[in-house]
Amino acid sequence: METPRNSILVVDDDSTIRLGFRSLLEQYGFEVETAEDGREGLKSTMRREFDLILLDIYMPHMNGLDCIKALRISRPFVPVIIITATPESKLAQEALREGADDLLPKPVPAKILVEKIKAVLSSQTGNSGSGHG
């Protein structure tokens, strides 16, 4: 039986990374939407629910930490994976304390990214029968 396509929001101010993640994840059968900063990412989450959000930390207009704080109010159960070039930074560590599900350092190998997404999605499915949608 074919599994339904999971929707992922990629939020990163670097267009090369954003579009690269989109291309990669679509190859693995994910439905992908992108946003160029935290503010745009939040707007996207108001329009629709996502199964998972990939979120950069250092972005203009609204950084990833402020974005995750707002997300935990409006979408408390959506899994968030932080992707950052500075995983040891105070901001990245604070994002984990604020409810990010995981943190991956940039550059992240494609295979690791996809496996981490699958693992987080499957743990979410196991934790709640209600899901999204």
Q: What is the CATH number of the domain that holds 56?
A: 3.40.50.2300
Please state the pTM of the whole predicted model: 0.89
Asked if the structure places residue 130 within a domain, the reply is: no
And the tokens for 112? Answer: 């690791």
Task: Give yes or no for a contact between 132 and 75, defined as CB atoms under 8 angstroms apart.
Answer: no
On whether the CB atoms of residues 107 and 82 are closer than 8 A, the answer is no
Domain count within the chain: 1
Does 67 fall in a domain?
yes
d(CA 112, CA 115): 5
Kindly give the residue spans of alpha helices, DSSP state H, lying in the chain.
15-27, 38-47, 64-74, 90-97, 110-127
The distance from CA 79 to its chain's CA centroid, rounded to whole angstroms, is 7
- Residue 69 within any structural domain of the chain: yes
Inside any domain, residue 102: yes
Nearest to 80 by CA among 10, 33, 15: 10
pLDDT of residue 130: 41
Provide the residue-wise pLDDT of the chain in tens; the chain has 133 residues.
Answer: 455 689 999 999 999 999 999 999 999 999 999 999 999 999 999 999 999 999 999 999 999 999 999 999 999 999 999 999 998 889 899 999 999 999 999 999 999 999 999 999 998 776 544 444 4
Domain that holds residue 117: 7-123
Q: What is the pLDDT of residue 124?
A: 78
Domain annotation covers residue 133:
no
Half-sphere exposure of 66 (CA within 13 A, CB side): 11
Residue 1 lies in a domain: no
Question: Is residue 2 domain-resident?
Answer: no
